[in-house]
């Protein structure tokens, strides 16, 4: 009986019901085989300690290892397993799942485990840990099938059947030469439909895409997505396969990359976790805040130069925040668009120019509309509520409107050029652009607005 994925808790609850139905081990195993390991993983939270321990005894270590790979925070369950059983379970895990699990295991427990874990697995774990978090090598798994290029079709099928007992990722088989170097891949479907006396060479794709262990994930990710394969081989310096990257790893990597960018746009230096301490969160945000503070102080000194204007015509200061806010928002919009475009496409100089021009046009168009709206509504407001004649009121609101237009056009320009500049000098535009754009926009807006007010209203129009 299949159930709707959104009611996933129903699956987990069914499993709990089964576990509590008092079946003997054989019947229990038979029934649980009809469920996805993720659902069994989810049911664990709903069971008591005792029930879980009884379940661990009923299922074989390989099955438990698959279930555990779906659990995000296994610390609790790890303790329930006991060292011997834990070692058995870990020995059945893929290297990447084992690495993830061991991150949540105490040093003390690790010391007890070390002597009883498989040597091969330990070597694979050490391999993954030898890479930085931003390198491709840190994402690999040892869960793949590789065969020699010298086999016949029949021997290859035999290898497949042999290795499929332990390996899940079978839709692509990787081929190595006599020295163990990567020399191509075989689509499983091609092997399945091949006739017995075909040459293996005929179905090997020699020029199959691959990744290098030390490459940065962020640099490869667009290519990886484009190839749209379920898995891609990862090679070391000697061109030997050290593991594969699966589509699931790509999904996680894409999620992380975007989450990172999202955080940067808001001025956070990395994605924040609920569990971070207050101090850690403060440390993450402080850099940008301090930079903005001092840049803001700089803007304040510039505003200070126009103190005279405000002393004479205090009403103009009412609309400063309006103009700065609108300019800031327009700049952020252009920034967001430009960053996304820079990320996805490889633009020529000509296309970049046209993006800048287009952004300025959008800024101009929106600025015109908003400038006109400000002129009308603020003019009415000033005239009616602030005791100026309608003529003078609209002159003041006209000042606001024009400054708004100018500020928004400059904002669009800056919001596009600054990230492009940072992208060119290989600095992450998402991180670096924010404070620079805010400051430039503030300066332009303030100088335009108060400058215009001084010029037009005080000098020319003698409004005061």
Q: Which two tokens stand for residue 440?
A: 């430039």
Angle of helix 8-19 relative to helix 37-44, nearest 10 degrees, comes to: 70
Query: If we measure between CA atoms, which residue out of 86, 139, 130, 89 comes closest to residue 108?
Result: 86
Q: Which two tokens stand for residue 206?
A: 């020699």
Q: In angstroms, rounded to a whole number, what is the distance separating the alpha carbons of residues 448 and 30?
A: 77
Q: In angstroms, rounded to a whole number, what is the distance separating the alpha carbons of residues 19 and 390?
A: 81
Q: What is the end-to-end Cα distance of the chain in Å, rounded?
A: 83
Q: Which two tokens stand for residue 391?
A: 């003529």
Query: If we measure between CA atoms, which residue out of 225, 270, 224, 276 comes closest to residue 430?
Result: 270
User: Which residue lies nearer to its own copies by CB, 111 or 278?
Assistant: 278
Instruction: Tell the smallest beta-carbon distance from residue 443 to its own copies (Å).
Output: 10
Per the DSSP assignment, residues forming a β-bridge with 205 are 185
Q: In angstroms, rounded to a whole number, what is the distance separating the alpha carbons of residues 412 and 362?
A: 8
243: Cβ contacts below 8 Å, ≥ 6 apart? 95, 96, 124, 127, 128, 137, 140, 141, 142, 144, 233, 234
| Beta carbons within 10 angstroms of residue 273's beta carbon | 8
Instruction: Tell the smallest beta-carbon distance from residue 432 to its own copies (Å).
Output: 15
Instruction: Tell the smallest beta-carbon distance from residue 93 to its own copies (Å).
Output: 14
Instruction: Tell the smallest beta-carbon distance from residue 35 to its own copies (Å).
Output: 5
Question: Could you tell me how far CA 420 lies from the centroid of its own chain?
Answer: 21
Instruction: Tell the smallest beta-carbon distance from residue 403 to its own copies (Å).
Output: 13
Instruction: Tell the smallest beta-carbon distance from residue 32 to its own copies (Å).
Output: 10
User: Which residue lies nearer to its own copies by CB, 87 or 419?
Assistant: 419
Angle of helix 278-304 relative to helix 429-452, nearest 10 degrees, comes to: 30
User: Which residue lies nearer to its own copies by CB, 85 or 285?
Assistant: 285
User: Which residue lies nearer to its own copies by CB, 86 or 232?
Assistant: 232
Q: Tell me whether strands 145-148 and 172-176 are parallel, antiparallel or unpaired.
A: parallel
Q: Tell me whether strands 145-148 and 241-246 are parallel, antiparallel or unpaired.
A: unpaired
Query: What strand order describes the sheet that includes 145-148?
Result: 145-148, 172-176, 182-187
User: Which residue lies nearer to its own copies by CB, 91 or 366?
Assistant: 366
User: Which residue lies nearer to its own copies by CB, 115 or 237?
Assistant: 237
Q: Which two tokens stand for residue 116?
A: 């009883």
User: Which residue lies nearer to its own copies by CB, 365 or 391?
Assistant: 365
User: Which residue lies nearer to its own copies by CB, 368 or 456?
Assistant: 368
Question: Could you tell me how far CA 224 lies from the centroid of its own chain?
Answer: 15
User: Which residue lies nearer to its own copies by CB, 98 or 326?
Assistant: 326
Q: Which helix (H) or strand (E) holds 52?
A: helix 49-58
User: Which residue lies nearer to its own copies by CB, 87 or 128?
Assistant: 128
Instruction: Tell the smallest beta-carbon distance from residue 111 to its own copies (Å).
Output: 31
Instruction: Tell the smallest beta-carbon distance from residue 232 to its own copies (Å).
Output: 8
């Amino acid at each position: 009986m299949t159930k709707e994925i959104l009611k996933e808790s129903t699956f987990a609850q069914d499993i709990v019901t089964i576990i509590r139905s008092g079946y003997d081990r054989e019947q229990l195993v038979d029934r649980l085989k009809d469920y996805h390991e993720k659902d069994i993983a989810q049911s664990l939270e709903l069971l008591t300690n005792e029930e879980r321990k009884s379940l661990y005894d009923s299922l074989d270590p390989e099955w438990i290892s698959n279930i555990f790979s779906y659990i995000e925070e296994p610390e609790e369950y790890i303790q329930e397993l006991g060292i011997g059983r834990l070692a058995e379970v870990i020995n059945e895990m893929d290297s990447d799942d084992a690495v993830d699990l061991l991150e949540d295991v105490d040093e003390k427990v690790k010391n007890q485990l070390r002597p009883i874990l498989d040597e091969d697995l330990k070597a694979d774990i050490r391999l993954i840990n030898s890479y930085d978090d931003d390198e491709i090598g840190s994402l690999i798994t040892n869960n793949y099938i590789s065969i020699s290029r010298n086999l016949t079709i029949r021997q290859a099928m035999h290898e497949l059947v042999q290795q499929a007992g332990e390996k899940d990722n079978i839709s692509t088989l990787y081929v190595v030469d006599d020295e163990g170097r990567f020399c191509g891949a075989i689509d499983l479907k091609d092997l399945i439909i091949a006739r017995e006396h075909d040459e293996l060479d005929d179905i090997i794709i020699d020029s199959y895409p691959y990744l290098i262990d030390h490459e940065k994930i962020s640099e490869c990710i667009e290519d990886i997505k484009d190839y749209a394969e379920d898995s891609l081989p990862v090679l070391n310096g000697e061109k030997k396969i050290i593991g594969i990257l699966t589509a699931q790893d790509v999904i996680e990597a894409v999620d992380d990359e975007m989450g990172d960018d999202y955080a940067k746009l808001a001025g956070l230096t990395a994605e924040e976790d609920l569990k971070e301490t207050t101090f850690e969160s403060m440390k993450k945000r402080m850099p940008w805040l301090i930079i903005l503070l001092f840049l803001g102080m700089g803007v304040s000194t510039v505003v200070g130069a126009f103190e005279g204007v405000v002393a004479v015509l205090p009403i103009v200061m009412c609309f400063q925040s309006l103009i700065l806010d609108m300019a800031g928002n327009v700049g952020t919009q252009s920034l967001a668009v430009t960053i996304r475009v820079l990320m996805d496409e490889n633009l020529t100089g000509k296309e970049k120019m046209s993006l800048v021009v287009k952004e300025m046009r959008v800024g101009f168009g929106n600025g015109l509309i908003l400038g006109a709206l400000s002129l009308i509504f603020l003019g009415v407001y000033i005239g009616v509520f602030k005791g100026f004649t309608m003529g003078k009121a609209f002159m003041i609101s006209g000042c606001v409107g024009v400054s708004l237009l100018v500020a928004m056009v400059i904002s669009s320009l800056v919001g596009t050029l600054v990230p492009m500049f940072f992208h060119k000098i290989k600095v992450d535009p998402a991180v670096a652009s924010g404070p620079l754009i805010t400051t430039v926009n503030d300066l332009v807006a303030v100088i335009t607005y108060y400058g215009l007010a001084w010029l037009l209203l005080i000098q020319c129009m003698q409004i005061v």
